[in-house]
Amino acid sequence: MDNKKNRAVVQVPGTSANCGPGFDCLGLATTIYNYLDLTLLHANKVVVEAAGEGAENIPRGKRNLTWQAVQRLLQEVGRETDFKGAIIRTRNNVPISRGLGSSSTAIVGGLVAANEILGAPLTRQELLKLATELEGHPDNVAPALFGGFTVSVMDKGAVQTFSFQPRIKLKLIVAVPDFELSTRLARKVLPKNISMKDAIFNVSRASMLIAALVEGREDLLPLAFDDALHQPYRKKLVPGMTEVFEAAKAAGALGAAISGAGSCLIAFTTTRSGLEEKISSAMVEEFKAHGVKSKALILNVDKRGAKVIKKGAESK
Ligand code: HSE
């Protein structure tokens, strides 16, 4: 196989996990994208060229996360002796370590691009299994692969995902603070046990959230984004969290939550409300009042998930 056939370019959406009450199980894909241009090589070398968000910190060589995903897929389909290296070119728009699924885009991009080059030996469901194994949780990789809103269930190490397009046209307002937050640290602050009361709080809201989105019941959403399992413990890691949520709601948002493990905060409105600018200014201002510099992203829900945008052309 020559270089012409060994290349694929993919677009992968950033994601927002948890969506308030759905800790480690709910997620949605957003309209901010990372791009991966992958060429598989017979030679035993990994070349990484990165541009955009966090470019200078992306690991080069075989420590690169996209390479690790590619290598995992090659092993899975028994092609690891055919392709021992790769050229990985990335152009990233998703902020790093902010709770917008940047590591998922690296994993999902590598899996989807390599699978495409090899003639699609694995289904998306099979790619989800590998991606979850690499990421450790399904809630970012699932929407990155399938698009829309996703509900994922882990059962004895296996993952089952339901992906759907909400009947409410959501507009997402993301306040991106100027500090990173590692998922590891954000998980370390969580308690080992929770009360029955808090479990009921979350089960009821997560269920209401899905029902409202599936049935198009915007009136039920203001009840549905709150959480008692992780945000109360993480608020010390994101200065002004509660007040930014309140400011977003006072400006008309239907609800607000930490995006993934943070540090971004995400508020929800509808595309027809026309409130996105007002909500984003309120969130940025409130962060500022707590000494945090931030910028706002106004996004929609991505419907498609990871997408191959070019295939087979010669890599330059
Ligand atoms: N559900 C995860 C968390 C998101 O909140 O820790 C990061 O993968």
We report the CATH number of the domain holding residue 249 as: 3.30.70.890
Q: Copy the structure tokens of residue 289.
A: 């009042």
| pLDDT exceeds cutoff 50 at 1 | no
Residues 190 and 264 in one domain: yes
**Is position 315 within any domain?**
no
Q: Which atom of ligand 1 is nearest to the CA of 139?
A: 1
Domain containing residue 68: CATH number = 3.30.230.10
The reply to whether 209 and 153 lie within a common domain is no
Are residues 115 and 178 located together in one domain of the fold? no
Does residue 217 share a domain with residue 293?
yes
Q: Are residue 147 and residue 35 in the same domain, yes or no?
A: yes
Structure tokens at 90: 């990335």
Q: Are residues 230 and 292 in the same domain?
A: yes
Mean pLDDT, to the nearest integer, of 213-231?
Answer: 96
Residue 14's φ and ψ, nearest 5 degrees, are -70, 160
* Total structural domains within the chain: 2
Q: Which of 58-67, 204-213, 229-238, 249-258 has the lowest mean pLDDT?
A: 58-67
| DSSP state, residue 171 | E
Question: Based on the domain organization, do 141 and 219 belong to the same domain?
Answer: no
How high is the pLDDT of residue 29? 98
Is residue 227 predicted with pLDDT exceeding 80?
yes
Residues 6+ apart with CB under 8 A from 105: 12, 13, 14, 15, 33, 34, 36, 92, 94, 144
Q: How far apart are the C-alpha atoms of 41 and 87, rounded to whole Å?
A: 7
Q: What is the mean pLDDT of residues 268-281?
A: 97
Mean pLDDT over 178-186 rounds to 94
Do 238 and 220 share a structural domain?
yes
Residue 29 C-alpha to ligand 1 middle, in angstroms?
14
Residue of the CA atom closest to atom 3 of ligand 1: 261
- Residue 147 tokens, joined: 């698009």
> Residue of the nearest CA to atom 1 in ligand 1?
24
* Res. 5 pLDDT band, cuts 50 70 90: confident
Q: Is residue 80 part of a domain?
A: yes
Are 204 and 141 part of one and the same domain?
A: no
Q: How many CB atoms lie within 10 A of CB 285?
A: 14
What pLDDT digit, counting tens, does each position of 97-122 carry? 999 999 999 999 999 999 999 999 99
Band the pLDDT of 157: cuts 50, 70, 90: confident
Is residue 310 included in any domain, yes or no? Answer: no
> How far is Cα 71 from Cα 82, in angstroms, rounded to an integer?
11
* Number of the ligand 1 atom closest to the C-alpha atom of 258: 5
Closest approach atom of ligand 1 to CA 137: 8
Question: At which residue do the structure tokens 């021992």 appear?
Answer: 84
* Residue 305 belongs to some domain of the structure: no
Instruction: Ligand 1, residue 140: give the atom nearest the CA.
Output: 8
Domain with 88, as residue range(s), is: 4-165
Q: Give the predicted TM-score (pTM) of the model.
A: 0.94
Residues having CB closer than 6 A to ligand 1 are: 17-18, 23-24, 137, 139-140, 183, 186-187, 230, 260-261
- Are residues 64 and 155 located together in one domain of the fold? yes
Say what percent of the chain tops pLDDT 70: 97
Same domain, 153 and 209: no
Tell me whether residue 304 is in a domain: no
Q: Based on the domain organization, do 135 and 268 belong to the same domain?
A: no
* Residue 88 banded pLDDT, cuts 50, 70, 90: very high
**DSSP 8-class letter at 95:** P
